[in-house]
Amino acid sequence: MRILVISNMYPSHEAPTFGIFVKNQVEALVKQGNHVDVAAITNPKMGKKNVLHKYSTWLLQAGRGLLARKSSYDIVHAHYAFPSGMMARWFKRRFNIPYVVTCHGGDLNKMAKKGRFFRKQTERILQEASHVIAVGRDLEEQVIHDFHVPKDKVSVFSMGVDQNVFHPRGSSVRSQLELSDNQKHVLYVGNIIEEKGIADLVEALALLRQHVPEVILHVVGQPKQAEYFASLTRRIETLQLSGHIHFHGAKPQSEVADWMSAADVFVLPSHTEGFGLVAVEAMACATPVVGTEVGGLTHLLSDGAGVAAEPKNPSSLADSIEQVLSNDVLRQRLIKAGQQKAAANDAEQITKNVLSIYKQAQQKQGERQ
């Protein structure tokens, strides 16, 4: 099958984790014997000027490339409804090639809410798609009820966890990372942006240290909002936490898995979250997870797979983390349920689901012609 993947996030040598979940799925599709071309943005820089430049350049360059190849694809897969889906919709109208859209969260929870134009475009993109994949149950609800897409055209599953990468590493990984066994290690992995709730986690750490003074916070990820990161740094200094919070920058997935395996607890304090794949990756590494009751995280942490804290509530977050650090019975229960959740989100099975959706989309398109 010849597949075109369109995405406004994709990794590069300079930004190896930017949209890594899209690249992982592309590589999984290729391993299944498919030919996959990618038209994607690889520049993670934010700011109005950067965003306008990279999106306009991407649309022009990708548009020229797609015109050159024309109707050589069997299916187009857009990651994020807008703007990726806009290009996929145009491709369908021009060459009559069906397209599938995966909604990841920001496209519905942020982009579609920027104004009437963006909402209308999102609605058209989703309604004209052959199929819509939502990575979380809350996104499914939005696609069906807010954007009026028939339920039989919507599926719910994550991007999948590669359990060849994300798996328990054993006790030696702590010494490899030079982490003290006399400390409690809390880990966050992801972009350092306001909506991920890092400031709440910093405040929670200050509260937590009153009861668990040996706790340390590790942050693996890149700052994406300069002003926010500056204010965060100032707050850390004010709370006298500089020696207890370590920023390690972005890491390749294999190293991220090492950090996850070494941590006592993984925390995702998001204000909004489509699914929370990074939390499932931590579960696959046999690390207990604390998250906030928002979006897809609410469903992900259900069935005892994680501990849910109130969003934007440092006190609730601190209490949830302390529960995990202090209760060995709870820890073991979380680890077991978390690994079951990770197995249910195995990347290999999800790739099979995606290919099945492609074939159904092709079949339906053929019946209309």
Would you state the pLDDT for residue 68? 64
Kindly report, residue by residue over 330-343, the tens digit of the pLDDT: 999 999 999 999 99
Would you state the pLDDT for residue 313? 98
How many CA atoms are closer than 13 Å to the CA of 138, on its beta-carbon side?
18
Kindly tell me if the per-residue pLDDT of 41 is higher than 90: no
Kindly tell me if the per-residue pLDDT of 69 is higher than 70: no
Round to whole Å and give the CA distance between 275 and 104. Answer: 7
Q: Residues 119, 125, 129, CA angle at the centre, nearest 5°?
A: 150
- Comparing 222 with 215, the larger pLDDT belongs to 215
Would you state the pLDDT for residue 70? 61
Q: Which positions ≥6 away from 176 have C-beta within 8 Å?
A: 258
49, 52, 56, 58 alpha-carbon torsion, rounded to 10°: 90
Beta bridge partners of 290: 267, 307
Kindly tell me if the per-residue pLDDT of 17 is higher than 90: no
Q: Residues 159, 165, 171, CA angle at the centre, nearest 5°?
A: 130
Q: How would residue 284 be classed by pLDDT, with cut points 50, 70 and 90? A: very high
Round to whole Å and give the CA distance between 59 and 197. Answer: 32
Mean pLDDT of the chain: 92
Are 158 and 280 contacting, i.e. CB atoms less than 8 angstroms apart? Answer: yes
Q: How would residue 215 be classed by pLDDT, with cut points 50, 70 and 90? A: very high
Structure-token pair, residue 42: 């690889």
Q: How would residue 65 be classed by pLDDT, with cut points 50, 70 and 90? A: low
pTM, to two decimals: 0.88
Region class of 240: left (phi > 0), else alpha (psi between -120 and 50), else beta? left
Are 4 and 75 contacting, i.e. CB atoms less than 8 angstroms apart? Answer: yes
Kindly report, residue by residue over 86-141, the tens digit of the pLDDT: 989 988 988 889 999 999 998 999 899 999 999 999 999 999 999 999 999 899 99
pLDDT > 90 in the chain, percent: 78
Quick one: DSSP state of residue 268?
Answer: E
Round to whole Å and give the CA distance between 292 and 271. Answer: 8
Kindly tell me if the per-residue pLDDT of 369 is higher than 60: no
Are 281 and 256 contacting, i.e. CB atoms less than 8 angstroms apart? Answer: yes
Q: How would residue 60 be classed by pLDDT, with cut points 50, 70 and 90? A: confident
Kindly report, residue by residue over 140-193, the tens digit of the pLDDT: 999 999 999 999 999 999 999 999 999 999 889 999 999 999 999 999 999 999
Kindly report, residue by residue over 294-353, the tens digit of the pLDDT: 988 999 999 999 999 999 999 999 999 999 999 999 999 999 999 999 999 999 999 999
Angle between helices 314-326 and 328-344 (to 10 degrees): 100
Please give the C-alpha separations between residue 340 and each of 225, 263, 272, 280, in angstroms, as whole numbers: 35, 19, 24, 10
Average pLDDT (263-269) is 98
Determine which helix (DSSP H) or strand (DSSP E) holds 368, and give its type and residue range. helix 347-368
Q: Of all residues in the chain, what percent are helix, strand and coil, respectively (each to 5)?
A: 50, 15, 35
Sketch out the chain's domains with CATH numbers: 2-160+347-368 (3.40.50.2000), 172-344 (3.40.50.2000)
